[in-house]
């Protein structure tokens, strides 16, 4: 990298779901809203087929810790375990470098 | 973490595609096959809606560099730029910690 690069953090959340997803979509939307208002939030990307992948980006490990402990988010995590998820895996990562491609970007 | 943790690396590849995807699926399958045979490969997860997310896991930065420079993969990357992708973003990350949940796992 030629420019100075400031590392940041990514949380990779992969999951598979159970059959009864009542309340899940509303909760997911609410969590995305709440995350956006957390200090240190940088962005979020997600896609789901059978496997779901959500990656959220954060300025620091502290920002991730604070979000993990946010009270409404704690309730959502509990519902995730008791009701919605069959399995999930959370990875806390430091983004060390990156590159981007745009086709015919202006 | 109570147990000793050995960090590894994740490549987060997010993308949007163009309309004509001729040859893409075959190439994606071939690349997954090839990646699995690369030294240091640990795994791969992917999902796509409008946005696609593929995360591959590797033992070291060298393993990632070798995969990036693998000759058939270089050709695929070129086709990705000239034909398939509208936009992509690649992030090289160090996985610092992780946790997993299994519902009623035995």
pLDDT at B94: 97
Q: Among A47, A99, A105, select the one facing B52 at the smallest CB separation.
A: A47
Confidence tier at A104 by pLDDT (50, 70, 90): confident
3-class state of residue A32 by DSSP: helix
Report the alpha-carbon distance of residue A31 to residue A17 in Å, rounded.
17
Beta carbons of B45 and A53 less than 8 Å apart: yes
Q: Rounded to 5 degrees, what are φ and ψ at B75?
A: -60, -40
DSSP state of B63: H
Span B7-19, average pLDDT: 97
pLDDT at B57: 98
The alpha carbon dihedral of B14, B89, A32, B56 has a sign of positive
CB of A106 within 8 Å of a chain B CB? The answer is no
B positions 74-93 inside 8 Å of A (CB): 81, 85-93
Span A76-95, average pLDDT: 96
- What is the interface pTM, i.e. ipTM, of the complex? 0.92
3-class state of residue B68 by DSSP: helix
Span A18-46, average pLDDT: 96
């Amino acid at each position: 990298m030629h420019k100075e690069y400031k590392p940041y953090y990514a949380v990779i959340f992969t999951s598979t779901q159970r059959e009864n997803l009542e309340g899940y979509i509303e909760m997911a939307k609410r969590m995305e809203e709440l995350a956006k208002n957390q200090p240190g939030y940088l962005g979020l990307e997600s896609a789901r087929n059978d496997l779901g992948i959500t990656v959220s980006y954060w300025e620091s490990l502290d920002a991730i810790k604070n979000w993990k402990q946010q009270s409404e988010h704690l309730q959502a995590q509990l519902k995730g375990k008791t009701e919605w998820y069959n399995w999930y895996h959370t990875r806390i990562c430091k983004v060390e470098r990156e590159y981007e491609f745009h086709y015919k970007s202006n």
